[in-house]
Structure 1
């Protein structure tokens, strides 16, 4: 084949690829517009049944959109009521959102999309919270999930470490939760929870759970410069309320976890105000926050 023919063939292939990519992007934008309309129905539906049916339609439409080539890199950034968080190592991203039940509780929905250019590799997240009696210690899967809406993914420090997901959960009409969820991918399966948290008095936890009053909120944040996870220290409003977590809230002190040899080791009574670099990292730009609606933003109980 002559050089001119090779160049021409290359140009034709490049043009065909560009046309196909443009067509896919148009389709993804159309799906996004549809999802945005359904999302409004989920929020504004007059009855629980109406909103639930809209939720199922939303899920089916989202899956159809994700089947398109290149969907992994499409941001869906006009969908404001769901959280879409991408792994800093770019291996996967997580969709998660809350559905408000009429009794004041929430059911969570979500999915993990792997970065697979060849085909859609999707793990649905199925909320089984009511059936999980001890969420701090139970190892679960995506099919048996402690529902939450995630807002940050902490990549593994070493290849053998799990990822950590930071999330928020409306627990019941009286309390909310913040959760640190370890997650690993092994043999095409998802495992959630791992014995990587070393707490006080030699205790080990598979998952960190903080519970506090529904009208309050809690800070839970990763400081990559130090490999620390820092969070508000939660206490009851009165000593007699100990163990009744609807009365727990921040006391303006901070605890944390530091990374040591594959584990996250508990630290108490941290001084976070005198270190300018930490103060900068703790600042949350409101324009960049992607946290759930109706999410309390203060503080929590410590395990």
Structure 2
């Protein structure tokens, strides 16, 4: 009799848990529908003020949804205008998206959600780009963030290394950027930037920023099998445009960074054609990826 009572109790408890999880998922689906509607308004609003107000409403609604238990595992995959990128180690995920201003510039919004099953642990990302004089040399936090839309997270090779975030950053009407952003999360503190990235001169930077013509497209991608970050080599359209990055674009050669003892060392003129595994990993099947090479086919231009 006691065994029967215990089995019934276990069944009732399991049913209650599953029922509760099902109700939460349904609530999250409703929030997702609402977010899609608000997001459409933030893109298609008649003027910048209307679109901005919709963006603020979107943020409030998203935070409310994330407060629900189990929200970390909910994909929100119908929200096509924001990037939701998960850490390969499943410790956190990043929401990031952009707002296109009428003057051709952009403002970025985002948040880091930790995988905390007990409560919502969320760090807002506040775009501070306009107040940072040197993007490559400045160490920041989530409160004074160099805004970007992230599409790949590189986990640390050892406990002392930062994560690296690969992102796209629309700049203005003339140029776009790609960004390699070191990220450290420690004791509830977010640090963005670390002197682990070497440039072509041998100097170590806190973050790496590539600027190029708005009409061009740049590849920046991590190759896990080699521990390489590879990217297009950018050159000006002619020598007279040197230093004017709105005239820069790929020249069909590739450079990169390779991991060595906690640093990412610069590699010039990588011959990818002789690296079959790298070439395979660089290929993006258009049937599998709606957003090839991480380029945001979303708000604004690339």
Partner of 2:48: 48
How many residues are matched? 296
Q: Is the 8 A contact 2:128 2:145 kept in 1?
A: yes
Deviations 1:98-135 (A, max 9, x none): 10000000000000000000000000000010000100
The Cα of 1:146 is off from its aligned counterpart by 0.2
Q: Is the 8 A contact 1:161 1:262 kept in 2?
A: yes
SS at match of 1:138: coil
Q: Which residues of 2 match residues 49-198 of structure 1 at below 5 A?
A: 49-198=49-198
Structure 1 residues 295 and 266 mapped into 2: Cα distance closer, same or farther (>3 Å)? Answer: farther
TM-score by length of 1: 0.96
Partner of 1:7: 7
Deviations 1:230-264 (A, max 9, x none): 00000000101000000000000000000000000
Q: Is the 8 A contact 1:168 1:295 kept in 2?
A: no
SS at match of 1:143: helix
Deviations 1:2-25 (A, max 9, x none): 211111111010000011000000
Q: Is the 8 A contact 1:217 1:295 kept in 2?
A: no
SS at match of 1:19: helix
1:272 aligns with 2:289: no
Structure 1 residues 101-110 or 277-286, which shifts more? 277-286
List, as ranges, runs of 4+ consecutive aligned residues in structure 1 with deviation greater than 4 Å. none
TM-score by length of 2: 0.96
SS at match of 1:53: helix
Partner of 1:299: none
Q: Partners in 2 of 1:270 and 1:200 — Cα distance? A: 13
Partner of 1:217: 217
Q: Is the 8 A contact 1:82 1:96 kept in 2?
A: yes
SS at match of 1:202: coil
Deviations 1:43-101 (A, max 9, x none): 11110011000000000000000000000000000000000000000000000001000
The Cα of 1:215 is off from its aligned counterpart by 1.2
Q: Partners in 1 of 2:242 and 2:89 — Cα distance? A: 41
Q: Is the 8 A contact 2:195 2:205 kept in 1?
A: yes
Q: Partners in 1 of 2:160 and 2:7 — Cα distance? A: 46
Structure 1 residues 277 and 295 mapped into 2: Cα distance closer, same or farther (>3 Å)? Answer: farther
SS at match of 1:52: helix
Q: Is the 8 A contact 1:124 1:143 kept in 2?
A: yes
CA RMSD in angstroms comes to: 1.1
Provide structure 1 residue ranges, at least 5 long, that are not aligned to the other structure. 297-303
Partner of 2:289: 288
Q: Is the 8 A contact 2:199 2:266 kept in 1?
A: yes
Structure 1 residues 138 and 96 mapped into 2: Cα distance closer, same or farther (>3 Å)? Answer: same
Q: Partners in 1 of 2:36 and 2:236 — Cα distance? A: 40
